Amino acid sequence: MPLVGGLTQRPSQLTLLHVRLPPGFAANATVYRPTKVHKALYSHGTGVLCSNESNEADTVWTMSSDQYPYHPTLAESQSTHAVDGFVWALADVTPQLWCSALNPTTPQGTKPPLLVTQHQQSPRQLVLLSATGAHVLTFLRPVDQLRQMLEESGGAESNMVKEFFSAMTPTQACATALIIATDPHRPNAQVAEWATRALFLYGANPPPAPVTFPPQTPAGYNFHPTQVSTPMPGQATNTALVQDAQFSPLHNALYLYLARILRPVWASSVAKETLVDGKPVLMSSMTAEELGFLAERVDLLAKFLLTNQGGTTPLQPLNASNTSLNITRYGGDGSERASLLALRSLLSQALEVLKLMTVLSTHNFTTITGSLQKEIREQLRTMTFRDLVLTGRELCKQIGHHVNVNGISSQLASGGAYEGVVDLCLSVAAQRDPAGLALHYYKNNEPADDHQGYMAFTSRMECYRVIMDQLNQLVGAGVVPRHPQRCPLRPGPPTPPPSTLPSTDATQYANQWLVDTNRTDRLLAITSPYLETFFLTRSNGQSPLHHLLWRYYERNRDYFKAAKTLLLLAEQIGDTPVNVRVEYLSRALMCLSSCEMNTASSYSDFMLHMEEKKEVARVQLMVLDALQGEGASADVIAQVNSSLLTLTTLYEKFAEPWALWECKLAIVHCAGHSEPQLVQSIWTNLIDRELERSRVEPVETRVDSLSSKIKALARLYCANPNYFPLEHIIKECEVRSVRLRTNTSWVVTALQGCGIQVSRLINIYHKLYRSGDSVWEVERSPYHLLGVLAHLITMLVDNEAAVQPPQKRALREQCLDYVAEYLTDLGASADASAGVISAHLKTCQAKLERFV
């Protein structure tokens, strides 16, 4: 019945919309119908009739269309109740919840149906007063009816629940089930789970193109669906309602439920202007309690969507055709998936705005808006919540410098709006320092005489510390923040973030925070051309971050710069241990080997220079280990670790004063200094030092220790006779063998372990014997070498298979000549040991005769 002429004028046109018949008078109604009606009440779509059909009791008829407000024809549910005695009076005593005020009228000036506002309304209650007392009737909301069905059937698979979704249409029923599924109260957790199962059973799959309403349900069925009282002429009661088959009912219900939550504020102004002491001021159009209630509802819906959508994947409906209720991924088209992502973004943005407005309303909204510029205040006065949710981020940034950044950021962080915290702090920092004085002050090492720069720097740092504090809290708690997303401009997956970061002071501080919290991997993962500048130029006299710079070059495949940076790290003066410096040089050589083929002389010279540096550093590391083994003081160790030292410094300041003979040998080898007398002197002292270290041990142990040392050094220097003088080493070892009176074969065994052949040893020992050195006479063992030679010849003959056939004859003739000479010398000697050695040699001679 539309009104023409306005609400204050008398209607000038009436249009017949519907002819209402009483219950029981419809063509398809039962015989039972109300008679002798003496009391009636109509309240918000619910009608009550009291009929006195007998003197002892009244019958109360209740009719309600709350469950079917959007049916194409009038549809109601009805019930009857017997009341003892005559009903004297009846009244609607529904308790009004404070949130019931969030129920604006429709554009036509009427109240919305209960189906729209049931999430913020209490069940309607009616009091009947009779001779026997007061009777309270409670009218269940659609959500109460569904909850009762779920509890009675113990799940979502019953026919009652299925009929409920069919009668109300799946979209409306899903919107009702969402109220139960998002219920935060723990005692209702089981019912909430059943409601969630019902959502996926009856709403997750897209419906076929036409959906037909089921026929009338016979009276007496425990669930009372529609009973159309006035069928329209020429039209059947089963009306086909074509729905959009593009989206599933659950998808549509999610949007519908969010619309019902935000309906009270969506088109309302954010602020209203009132006069206080004759001055216009802005006040929040809603109280903090009302905003908090809406924020809680939005948050519950967002959590439901996040939990059942699995983050970024589509919703997971239950396959209704499978009795085992296997959960399968809904494959629908990409438009539904994109729409759900957009819904998540809208939920996140709406939650941010509602929580922000709650904080502002709590902390004197009038005072905060009073300090704004006139243009911004006017913009805020005319802005609706819809505008603030969709496009209000820039406005919040403009007024950010007038608010308490710490307080607002804490509230935003509590709602998971960490992106909002960063945006707010960065915008406030930019407004506090529009000229960029802080960045200039920071890049110029914070000069003491720049007072303006210091003030701007301090002001910006107050904002940046808020971001750092939030980061530290998240890191300390081990929490992965939820990243709210903006509403996408087009369907599809969200646009990835930019791959580069601008060069701002905020970026510099963020980079420094990543360094301070030892999150260098995160920092290096950032693709930004300004990282190199950050690593090279730092404030407060701090040294460049070369230990990160070379990794940055390596990630960007600039291996030549990485090698140069590693060389700087190895050469820098400080307390860097020598082993770390050696590692830097090794990595530098690996980087150079990864470079593309380069034949330039500068590249070749640099490669050679790096290899020489590494060899010297390895000698320095050997000197350090030797000094630590000698018990050198911390100052001496610090001197060695202070930088890369030259070979001359290592020799003169450390190897020579501390008698580090093995280090001396390494130094002269690395320097290429092959003076024979110096090398022989080093070997003599090295042998004596090794025996001296084990002087308290048994002779066998001392000899074994010296043998091990010779073998170890032979692996390093055996290929270069200039640094492994074999003849001198044999002579010195055999002299010590005579002095120690130990086994004569230990030197031969040790040298064989170095890979020296027996034939070569025979020639060296023969040369030593023929040299006529007087040391053997001094040691009173003139034929000691002949005893060793007899042992060598025996080894040669016994190990015949080790000699190549072409060499056997020549080697046999040579050894026979040597034995003949030795027997002649022994025959002319009166030494006591000559007879024993002569007998041994004769045995060798006999074996050589058979050595073919």
Q: Mean pLDDT of all residues in the chain? A: 80
Specify whether the CB–CB gap between 818 and 766 falls below 8 A: yes
pLDDT at 216 over 70: no
Closest-CA residue to 666 (of 597, 739, 723):
723
**Exposed/middle/buried for residue 564 (C-beta within 10 Å: 0-12, 13-18, 19+):** buried
pLDDT at 756 over 60: yes
Measured between alpha carbons, how far is 407 from 613 in angstroms, rounded to an integer?
Answer: 57
Domain boundary pick from 403, 422, 449? 403
Which is it for the CA torsion 591, 596, 602, 608, positive or negative?
Answer: positive
Residues 102 and 156 in one domain: no
Measured between alpha carbons, how far is 828 from 778 in angstroms, rounded to an integer?
Answer: 20
Token pair recorded at residue 499:
């791959």
Domain boundary pick from 139, 167, 196? 139
pTM for this prediction: 0.51
**Within-domain flag for 299:** yes
pLDDT at 209 over 70: no
**Within-domain flag for 393:** yes
pLDDT at 396 over 90: no
- Please, which pLDDT band fits residue 394 given cuts at 50, 70 and 90? low
Query: In this structure, what CATH number is given to the domain that contains residue 255?
Result: 1.20.58.1780
Residues 45 and 156 in one domain: no
Q: What is the separation, in whole angstroms, between the first and last Cα of the chain?
A: 133
445 vs 722, more confident: 722
Domain boundary pick from 403, 438, 455? 403
Residues 107 and 154 in one domain: no
**What does the pLDDT average to over 601-612?**
86
Residues 262 and 309 in one domain: yes
Buried b / exposed e over 93-106, threshold 16 CB at 10 Å, is ebeeeebeebeeee
Residues 328 and 182 in one domain: yes
Which of 330-334, 531-535, 562-566 shows the highest mean pLDDT?
A: 562-566
Which of 342-351, 501-510, 802-811 shows the highest mean pLDDT?
A: 342-351
Residues 150 and 198 in one domain: yes
- The contacts of residue 339 (CB under 8 Å, 6+ apart) are 247, 251, 491
Closest-CA residue to 845 (of 827, 818, 807, 824):
818
Q: Residue with structure tokens 């010279």?
A: 605
Q: Coil, helix or strand for 743?
A: coil
> What is the reported pLDDT for 7?
53
**Within-domain flag for 176:** yes
Region of 169 (left: φ > 0; alpha: ψ -120 to 50; beta: rest) is left
Residues 135 and 162 in one domain: no
pLDDT at 137 over 50: yes
**Within-domain flag for 846:** yes
Number of domains within the chain? 3
851 vs 182, more confident: 182
Residues 93 and 123 in one domain: yes
pLDDT at 687 over 80: yes
Q: Which helix (H) or strand (E) holds 59?
A: strand 57-64
Residues 133 and 150 in one domain: no
> What is the reported pLDDT for 227?
36
Encoded amino acid at 78, one letter:
Q
- Please, which pLDDT band fits residue 407 given cuts at 50, 70 and 90? confident
| Helices 699-717/726-740 angle, 10° precision | 180
387 vs 319, more confident: 387
Residues 94 and 175 in one domain: no
Distance of CA 726 to the CA centre of its chain: 62
- Please, which pLDDT band fits residue 463 given cuts at 50, 70 and 90? confident
Residues 107 and 202 in one domain: no
Residues 151 and 64 in one domain: no
Structural domain harbouring 777: 764-852
**Within-domain flag for 728:** no
**Within-domain flag for 72:** yes
Which of 84-88, 116-120, 271-275, 817-821 shows the highest mean pLDDT?
A: 817-821
Measured between alpha carbons, how far is 595 from 609 in angstroms, rounded to an integer?
Answer: 16
**Within-domain flag for 165:** yes
**Within-domain flag for 323:** yes
- Please, which pLDDT band fits residue 312 given cuts at 50, 70 and 90? very low
